[in-house]
Structure 1
Amino acid sequence: MRCCARNAKAESQGPAASRQNGHHKAPGKAPKSGATNGSSMESSKKNLCEIHRSDGRRRRVLAASLLGAAVVAAVIALALFLVYRPMKPQATVARAGVYHLVSATTNGTNNSAATPYALSATVQFTLLLHNPSDRTAVVYDRLLAYVTYRGEMVAPPAQLPLVLQDPGADVAVSPLLGGDGGAPVPVSADAVDALHADCVAGRVQLRLVVMGRVRYRSGPFKSAWRDLYVRCDAILGLTVQAAAGGGGAGDVPLLEYPKCAVDA
């Protein structure tokens, strides 16, 4: 009888117990869902890390490629510069001619007025320009030549034509300064007195000045225009008679090798 009663009680409590057991087991499913979400987040983080690592590798590769290209370009530019670099031209005076170089001083009629001093000159120099580069051509433009004595201009400036010079070539320029008439140019009294003394001694120093601009052409490269300033000091064996246009006028000897300086 007791066994039957226990079985009956157990059967009567079975559905409730089963419901309670089902009620307590239902929350047990939540941990499985959380674990799934955690694993997916970890995998997402791993994917993001892999993406960042790949992006970092790409940046490093790109930076290395750019640096290598820059180094190669710099080496090529240096090689081209060393091969085609321009060299400033060299100059010397090969010949000098003095046809007329005298004082053109006139005494003023008014005693209170200062006596004007002037020199009248007709001279010609042959300037030899040498291009020391075997790969670079030189273009001379807007050339202007004049001659000075003791720092004072003695003849009006003369313009020269455009000059094209091939690599390694020599070009001769022969400007005639002062023209046929030799227009008087105002100078100081010291210059007039010094010229007479130098002609008596047979030793006159004149300076030829050539100004303008140059451009260098090296293969496919072309430089910008640069200022040109040439100055040559020539010591001439000029006598008083030759300076006056008498005997010996024209070509005069160069007593010393002319010294020329070129700024380009």
Structure 2
Amino acid sequence: MSEKVCDHHQDDRRKILRRLCGVILVAGFLLLLVILLIWAILQPKNPRFVLQDATIFSLNVTAPNVISTTVQVSINSRNPNSRVGIYYDRLTVFAAYRNQQITYYSAIPPVYQGHNDVNVWSPFIYGNNVPVAPYNGVALAQDKSDGAISLVVKISGRVRWKVGAFISGRYHLHVTCPAYIPIGNSRNTGIVVGNNAVKYQLSQTCSVNV
């Protein structure tokens, strides 16, 4: 009689284990499905950036290895997503010449960018007596004499994606904006906007990596 009772209990345990395994499999499948759906939704397009213009206040080679710069740039940022918002956190911008940074970091205030929204930032980027490689100082002076310089405006920081009430973790943002500026070119002198300040229209597309 006791053997029959034990067999009955073993059968019950097997049924419970099978049901438990079935529940775990179904729950795992549903969880995987939810993750895949969220992943599909959270495949946002990168924001798009355009360097609209640059106003040159000063760009001087004070010595072969020293450069002083004061520039204001206007940067257009657009969120191309119709369902995903973007939080921009801790953004900084600076200018580089021939792969060497020639200004300090300037901060762009944190901002939320809604669906298909556009923001325009106009930060000042500057550097006083920034040491550079001597050949870069010579090259910049020569470029100014030739009538055009090629700077690169770079933005770095972190972004978060927002879908409904869900907000993702932080992702690194790297934006590179080539700035071909015809400074000193008599055929394209730009627009004088103040004492020794000249504004150049650029409309140059930036590359974006997230």
Same fold (TM over 0.5): yes
Q: Residue 252 of structure 1 aligns with which residue?
A: 200
Say whether 1:173 aligns with 2:121.
Answer: yes
Change (3 A) 1:253 1:200: farther
Report the equivalent of 2:128: 183
Alignment of 1:144-163 (within 5 A): 144-163=92-111
- 1:208 alignment counterpart: 153
Q: 1:68 aligns with which of 10, 26, 45?
A: 26
User: 5+ unaligned residues in a row in structure 1: which ranges?
Assistant: 1-42, 106-115
Structure 2 distance, partners of 1:253, 1:94, is 6
The structure number with the bigger radius of gyration is 1
Structure 1 residues 101, 240: CA separation in 2 closer, same or farther (over 3 Å shift)?
Answer: farther
Tell me whether 221-230 or 55-64 shows the greater mean CA deviation: 221-230
State the partner residue of 1:261.
207
Q: Please, which runs of 5 or more residues in structure 2 have no aligned partner? A: none
Amino acid in structure 1 at the alignment position of 2:204: P
1-structure distance, mates of 2:157, 2:35: 29
Look up the equivalent residue of 2:79 and give its one-letter code: N
Q: Is the 8 A contact 1:85 1:136 kept in 2?
A: no
Cα displacement (A) at 1:249: 4.5
Deviation at 1:208, TM superposition (A): 0.5
Please say if residues 160 and 168 of structure 2, whose CA atoms lie closer than 8 Å, have aligned partners that are also in contact: yes
SS of residue matched to 1:74: helix
Are 1:55 and 2:17 an aligned pair?
no
| Native 8 Å contact 2:52 2:201 kept in 1 | no
* 1:54 shift after superposition: 2.4
Alpha-carbon distance, 1:248 to partner = 8.7
The CA distance in 2 between the partners of 1:76 and 1:225, in whole Å, is 21
Q: Within 1, Cα distance between the matches of 2:4 and 2:25?
A: 31
Higher helix share: 1
Aligned residue type for 2:173: L
Partner Cα distance (1:220, 1:81) in 2: 15
Match of 1:195 among 123, 137, 140: 140
CA contact (8 A) 2:97 2:150 kept: yes
Q: 1:57 & 1:84 partners in 2: Cα distance?
A: 40
TM-score by length of 2: 0.84
CA–CA separation in structure 1 for the residues paired with 2:68 and 2:12? 85
CA distance, structure 1, for counterparts of residue 83 and residue 95 of structure 2: 33
Q: Encode CA deviations 1:38-94: one digit per residue, 9 max, x unaligned.
A: xxxxx4323322221222122112211221122122212221331244443222212
Contact kept in structure 1, 2:148 and 2:185, CA below 8 Å: no
- Give the counterpart letter for 1:156 in structure 2: Y
Cα contact 1:85–1:218 (8 A) shared by 2: no
| TM-score, length basis structure 1 | 0.69
Task: Name the structure where strand makes up a greater proportion of residues.
Answer: 2
- Within the candidate set 157, 165, 180, 1:235 is matched to 180
Residue matched to 1:93:
51
